[in-house]
Amino acid sequence: MRSIEPHQAAIAVDLGATNIRAGLVREDGQILSLLIAPTPPHPEDADVILRSLESLIARAVSATGMPPVAGMGISTAGPVDLQKGAVVNPPNIPLPFIPLAEPLGERFGLPVRFMNDCHAGARGEAAFGCGRGVENFVYLTISTGIGAGVYEQGRLLFGEDGNFAEVGHFVVETTWNLPCGCGGTGHWEGCGSGRFIPAFFLEWCRSSNHRSPFRNLSDAAAIFAAAAGGDPVAGEFVSELGKVEARGISLLIAAYDPSLIVIDGSVARNNWHIFETSVLPHVRSVSGKIPQMRLSPLGGNAPLLGAAWSVFDRTPVP
């Protein structure tokens, strides 16, 4: 990596299943510009994604006073292939292969650091959030999908191809055997993520003979709003959902033995009061010791900040 001068910025890119984001971030974590756009919902090919990202990056860069740019950090929903700098068969984006690192690096003439969004989120927390100074912690995102990034003895774990801690595919239920986007059943993501909570709710209503209060159920937010408003069916479902989310977190504790779990993602951030009352009290540990569980203080920007920090940090990415 080339030398980095003080006050340089990094282009940070975050490709999610719901939104794409691009911005300029300084080494101290100050976000100089940030633009957000919907991820193309039914892209014909990877070029559709790339054109959207290129446009957003160019607009984000032009929106600032153009500080020197040291490089580009890319955070993306997985699975990823680190060697190819690409997304491979993502369950929440309907494309088999999305190359990112090489085409974006060539388009903007910059060195690129590339990783999945949960690893980037963990890096963001380690650099700027409540993971600072913590040797063993897990960054957990519960959003459109579910995933994690793990720090062990101060080192971020990547796995063989860069997909370590795909915890959304832990099996957490066998009662409904709900389908996951990956093709499996009973997975945490397949019932506890924003994308699949509505289907879980409808199947729960059907199997328990509850009548849905919704004429048309569009998203998980409607269920949480109905529960907060006192609807008894939505409230009972949220209690059941809380137990399922807690099973996933309990499995995460059993697998990684962290001292801290930093929880992020739109489902968690927008409903933290429900997590505090209906999820966290049901979390269990084999050892009996429950780690600290905290909401990310970075306002949903942990993956973006982690992508930027990877440009400045000399720690190698496999």
**DSSP letter string, 206-255:** HHHTPPPS-SS---HHHHHHHHHTT-HHHHHHHHHHHHHHHHHHHHHHHH
Same domain, yes or no, for 145 and 82? no
Say which residues have a Cβ less than 8 Å from residue 2's Cβ, sequence separation at least 6: 70, 71, 111
In a domain, 1, yes or no: no
Same domain, yes or no, for 55 and 104? yes
pLDDT at position 2: 43
CA distances from 294 to 143, 238, 297 (A): 16, 20, 8
The CATH number of the domain holding residue 45 is 3.30.420.40
Q: What is the extent of the structural domain holding 147?
A: 130-295
Integer Cα distance of 255 and 241 in angstroms: 21
In a domain, 78, yes or no: yes
In a domain, 71, yes or no: yes
In a domain, 318, yes or no: no
Same domain, yes or no, for 283 and 305? no
pLDDT at position 316: 64
Integer Cα distance of 4 and 7 in angstroms: 9
Residue closest to 267 by CA, chosen among 147, 183, 169 = 147
Same domain, yes or no, for 175 and 271? yes
pLDDT at position 64: 75
pLDDT at position 7: 62
| DSSP one-letter code for 188 | S
Grouping H, G, I as helix, E, B as strand and the rest as coil, residue 7 is coil
CA distances from 269 to 21, 77, 87, 175 (A): 18, 18, 26, 28
Alpha-carbon torsion (41, 46, 47, 51), positive or negative: positive
In a domain, 257, yes or no: yes
In a domain, 273, yes or no: yes
pLDDT at position 176: 93
pLDDT at position 243: 97
Integer Cα distance of 132 and 119 in angstroms: 15
Same domain, yes or no, for 108 and 150? no
Same domain, yes or no, for 78 and 198? no
In a domain, 317, yes or no: no
Same domain, yes or no, for 245 and 110? no
Same domain, yes or no, for 171 and 32? no
Same domain, yes or no, for 207 and 275? yes
Same domain, yes or no, for 194 and 252? yes
In a domain, 198, yes or no: yes
Angle at 185 between CA 180 and CA 189, to 5 degrees: 40
Integer Cα distance of 275 and 264 in angstroms: 11
Integer Cα distance of 303 and 299 in angstroms: 10
Same domain, yes or no, for 85 and 99? yes
pLDDT tens, N- to C-terminus, the chain (318 residues)? 444 455 689 999 999 989 999 999 999 999 999 999 999 989 999 999 999 999 999 999 887 766 789 999 999 998 999 999 999 999 889 999 999 999 999 999 999 999 999 999 999 999 999 999 999 999 999 999 999 999 999 999 999 989 999 999 999 999 998 999 999 999 999 999 999 999 999 999 999 999 999 999 989 999 999 999 999 999 999 999 999 999 999 999 999 999 999 999 999 999 999 999 999 999 999 999 999 999 999 999 999 999 999 999 866 666
pLDDT at position 1: 40
CB distance 198 to 191 below 8 Å? no
Integer Cα distance of 124 and 210 in angstroms: 42
Same domain, yes or no, for 156 and 284? yes
Q: How many domains does the chain have?
A: 2
